[in-house]
Amino acid sequence: MQNFGQINETFKNILADSIVTKDKKGKKIFKAYVKALKENKILKTQYGVYQKLEGKVNVSGDEERSVIFVDECISMLQKLGRNNIIETNIMLSNFLETNGYKLYVDEYDFKSLHEHINNVAFMERSTKNVNTIVESKIFIKNYSNLVEEKENKVVEPYSNKMLLPLMKNKFNEKYSNLTELENKIIKLTISGTDDDKKSLYTGTVRECIDLVNEQLKECSIDQKNTLLQVKDKLLRYDFNTENFTSEMSEMSYLKTTFN
């Protein structure tokens, strides 16, 4: 059956790519996924369980608690019903395929964990599969992401608080050569306040206008006309949260070109 963890990873990649490449279609696809997580009980529960198991931290000397924790998480998946989960996950896979996306098949941090969750929750109980199920259950029980244990807070899968930690490693893996400004744009796009966005936006507009003015001091007549058009566009820029990412990306490109 289709693995929810793999599906979720695919949408994470779509979001990462869409922000960096300024792909409006990708952002629209991810927004549709977030809406589905919010409204569909089966998807919301799957997301919550996978998030819990991904963030599991092993506590030395507390084996019993770890076993109970895993059992409860797996039980929540099983109570959804295998057929219901298959139907819902196929719906997401078909949505991706219809929009021209393929499931992410490369290695990623949680790939093994996701496969073991699938085994324990949905593999047919039989003498043939019992060893596989046992090994997968042991893997999940012993799994630890080796990070400092944090206060346990519920983070809705459709909130901005979820997006930054969800995407941080993705950007580090795929876009390690981003400029400082591009990193700021991404961070604020995912979890910044309107005030933070406006501050960066207005400051960058001023910087770009200063750069254009410097270029105007030493340029040809043809170049001057182009630069004046760019300056006029910058002077007409007015902060709007809906246009923040696209216009900031344009100014980032301008700064890279002139510097």
8 Å CB contact between 170 and 12: yes
Q: Find the Cα–Cα–Cα–Cα dihedral 146, 149, 150, 152, rounded to 10°.
A: 110
Helices 24-39 and 82-98: crossing angle in degrees, nearest 10, is 160
What count of other Cβ atoms lies within 10 Å of the Cβ of residue 60? 5
**What's the pLDDT score for residue 153?**
46
**What's the pLDDT score for residue 177?**
61
8 Å CB contact between 122 and 46: no
**What's the pLDDT score for residue 114?**
92
Residue with the two structure tokens 């979890």:
191
8 Å CB contact between 92 and 33: yes
**What's the pLDDT score for residue 20?**
67
Single pTM value for the model: 0.60
| Alpha carbon separation from 255 to 189, 215, 252 (Å, rounded) | 19, 12, 5
**What's the pLDDT score for residue 98?**
95
Spatial distance between the Cα atoms of 227 and 112, rounded to a whole number of angstroms: 53
**What's the pLDDT score for residue 158?**
45
8 Å CB contact between 17 and 59: no
Q: Is 46 exposed, middle or buried (0-12, 13-18, 19+ CB in 10 A)?
A: buried
pLDDT by position in tens, the chain (length 259): 679 999 998 998 888 778 767 788 988 898 899 889 889 999 999 999 998 888 877 666 677 888 888 899 999 999 999 999 999 999 999 999 999 999 988 888 889 999 999 999 988 889 999 999 999 988 988 886 433 344 444 445 444 444 554 455 555 555 556 778 877 887 787 667 889 999 999 999 999 999 999 999 888 887 888 889 899 999 999 998 878 887 888 898 888 887 7
Calculate ∠ Cα 110-114-117, nearest 5°. 140
Q: Is 123 left (phi over 0), alpha (psi -120 to 50) or beta?
A: beta
Q: Identify how many contiguous H helices and E strands the chain contains and give both numbers.
A: 12, 0
For the stretch 83-104, what's the b/e string if a residue is b when 16 or more beta carbons lie within 10 angstroms of its beta carbon? Answer: eebeebbeebbebbeeeebeeb
**What's the pLDDT score for residue 92?**
94
